[in-house]
């Protein structure tokens, strides 16, 4: 089957030329941003450029709410589509054919396009008009073009679940025809919101939490706590693998690997067993806050949800959160149940990594009945024999930095 990019395009009396472009439409929420809108669309275009840097395509036109890209050829198109599918801020994208704004030209091009694909039994025309200068309304285009396609191909119309959806978008005195339009991720382009630092365990919840905040345009720095050398270091490899997966949504990542081993040994000696988990968590937040401030992050992110485990009763969350001095803690999953979180993790692809067994630093030395109703005061009392500040700055100083980049070409930052 000749590809639509064949050197001698299909022509006719109207000189219909089947030269596709790739059209990208930004998520509608960007349009609501008033004065920030220019900044949002600039960031969206910058991100787009990075996402397609090694796909043999480039931006040929920037629009307010989208962009038009050159078509990379059939061989590269699936690869490029995968990139666009992972780009926050994109509402939809398509391989689309620009046609002169006339019903004759539209019909002829649709006919030429249909000749290139295996026809299913049913179809639908989906017209939309950003350019209102065209004399026909969208329903009129649907009806006229639909009748023509039906006569010509024998396909029948199915508005709900068509085998083929023929899209006709009218804008800028051009009709953009497409047989395959795909949904993007939506959300906000990475970089339009401030940086956050996410506490990434190796569990199911925290990668999902980080992803949710990314979808609001926040670049994420990752922090993982491990108990090496008290235990083997497999949780670190898991954290790296998860960061690699999440980096596909934000281009570059920094992961701070922090050993909690020394602190855990001290807590073991100085505090009541039932308080260990709460104290580990308080240290994690203090260390994470210090790293976040150095990274220029404006908030921490955790995968906590109320009541899920003993350390996540509201009482314990209060006792743990009390150590935060400057930054807020964002908890995107706070009211989600485990089933919903698992569904999101599966869709994201992190689930399979998260369920691999590892030695989590919080499962170490955990008593049979950890406290469920601590308070900031009782927790602080348990820390009275610990050099909290010293332990925190030592852990921060010994943290290792690991970087990831995607697409892999180009320096990691």
Binding site for ligand ATP (CB under 6 A): 199-201, 203-206, 223-225, 284, 302-304, 308-309, 311-312, 360-362
**Tokens read off for 354:** 């998260």
To ligand ATP, the closest distance from the beta carbon of 386 in angstroms equals: 19
Which residue has 């920030």 as its token pair? 36
For residue 161 the two structure tokens come to 């679940």
Output the CA–CA distances (angstroms, integers) from residue 230 to 62, 225, 234, in the order listed: 54, 12, 12
Choose, by CB under 5 A, the member of 109, 142, 201, 227 that binds Mg ion.
201
Q: Which does 259 bind (CB under 5 to 8 A by kind): Mg ion, ligand ATP, none?
A: none
Cα–Cα distance list, 80 to 118, 203, 291 (Å): 23, 31, 36
**Residue pointed to by tokens 């899920």:** 308
Interaction partner, residue 245 (ligand ATP, Mg ion, none; CB < 5-8 Å by kind): none
Binding of Mg ion at residue 20 (CB under 5 A)? no
Q: Per CB under 5 A, which region of 103-111, 137-145, 200-208, 386-394 contacts Mg ion?
A: 200-208
CA dihedral 393, 394, 398, 401 (to 10 degrees): -20
Distance in Å, CB of 109 to Mg ion, minimum: 55
Considering only 203, 207, 219, 370, the residue that binds Mg ion (CB under 5 A) is: 203
The 3-state DSSP class for residue 219 equals coil
Residue 199 interaction partner, one of ligand ATP, Mg ion, none, beta carbon < 5-8 Å per kind: ligand ATP
Nearest distance from residue 166's CB to ligand ATP, in Å?
Answer: 44
304 makes contact, choosing from Mg ion, ligand ATP, none, with CB < 5 to 8 Å by partner type, with ligand ATP
The nearest distance, CB 206 to Mg ion, in angstroms, is 7
Q: Across the strands, what pairs with 223? A: 199, 256
Contacts of 273 (CB under 8 A, 6+ apart): 365, 367
Q: Which of Mg ion, ligand ATP, none binds 276 (CB below 5-8 Å, type-dependent)?
A: none
Q: Specify the residue, 31 or 347, whose C-beta has the smaller distance to ligand ATP.
A: 347
Query: How many Cα neighbours within 13 Å face the side chain of 13?
Result: 2
Yes or no: say if 53 and 22 are a contact pair by the CB < 8 Å rule. Answer: no
Instruction: Name residues whose C-beta falls within 8 Å of residue 112's C-beta, 6 or more positions apart in sequence.
Output: 10, 12, 16, 18
**Which of ligand ATP, Mg ion, none lies near 204, with the C-beta cut-off 5 to 8 A by kind?**
ligand ATP
| Minimum CB distance to Mg ion, residue 201 (Å) | 4
**CA-CA distance, 286 to 325, in Å (whole number)?**
8
The piece of 23-31, 50-58, 198-206, 367-375 that touches Mg ion (CB under 5 A) is 198-206
Q: In angstroms, give the least distance from the CB of 256 to ligand ATP.
A: 10
Q: Of 4 and 370, which has the nearer Cβ to ligand ATP?
A: 370
Token pair, residue 301, equals 């992110």
Interface contacts to Mg ion, rule CB under 5 A: 201, 203
């Amino acid at each position: 089957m000749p590809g639509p990019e064949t050197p001698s395009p299909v022509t006719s009396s109207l000189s219909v030329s089947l030269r596709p472009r790739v059209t990208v439409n930004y998520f509608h929420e960007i349009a609501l941003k008033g004065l920030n809108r220019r900044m949002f669309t600039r960031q969206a275009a910058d991100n787009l450029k990075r996402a397609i840097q090694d796909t043999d395509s480039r931006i040929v036109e920037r629009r307010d709410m989208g962009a038009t890209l050159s078509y990379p050829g059939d061989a590269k198109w699936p690869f490029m589509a995968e990139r666009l599918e992972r780009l926050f801020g994109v509402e939809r994208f398509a391989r689309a054919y620009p046609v002169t704004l006339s019903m004759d030209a539209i019909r002829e091009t649709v006919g030429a396009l249909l000749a290139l694909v295996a026809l299913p039994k049913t179809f639908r025309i989906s017209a939309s008009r950003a350019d209102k200068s065209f004399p026909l309304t969208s329903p009129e285009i649907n009806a006229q073009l639909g009748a023509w396609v039906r006569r010509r191909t024998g396909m029948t119309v199915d508005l709900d679940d068509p085998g083929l959806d023929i899209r006709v978008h009218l804008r800028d005195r051009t009709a953009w025809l497409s047989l395959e339009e795909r949904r993007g991720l939506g959300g906000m382009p990475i970089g339009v919101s401030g940086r956050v630092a996410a506490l990434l365990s190796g569990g199911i919840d925290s990668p999902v939490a980080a992803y949710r905040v990314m979808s609001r345009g926040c670049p994420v720095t990752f922090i993982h706590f491990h108990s090496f050398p008290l235990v083997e270091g497999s949780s670190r490899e898991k954290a790296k693998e998860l960061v690699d997966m999440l980096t596909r949504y934000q281009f570059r990542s920094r992961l701070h690997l922090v050993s909690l081993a020394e602190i855990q040994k001290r807590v073991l000696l100085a505090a009541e067993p039932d308080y260990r988990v709460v104290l580990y968590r308080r240290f994690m937040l203090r260390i994470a806050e210090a790293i976040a401030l150095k990274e220029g992050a404006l908030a921490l992110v955790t995968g906590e949800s109320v009541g899920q485990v003993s350390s996540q009763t509201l009482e314990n969350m209060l006792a743990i959160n009390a150590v935060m001095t400057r930054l807020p803690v964002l908890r995107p999953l706070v009211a989600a149940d485990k089933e919903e979180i698992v569904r999101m993790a599966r869709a994201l692809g992190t689930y399979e990594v998260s369920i691999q067994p590892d030695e989590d630093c919080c499962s170490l030395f955990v008593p049979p009945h950890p406290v469920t109703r601590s308070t900031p005061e009782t927790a602080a009392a348990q820390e009275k024999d610990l050099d909290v500040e010293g332990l925190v700055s030592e852990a921060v100083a010994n943290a290792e930095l690991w970087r990831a980049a995607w697409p892999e070409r180009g320096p990691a930052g």
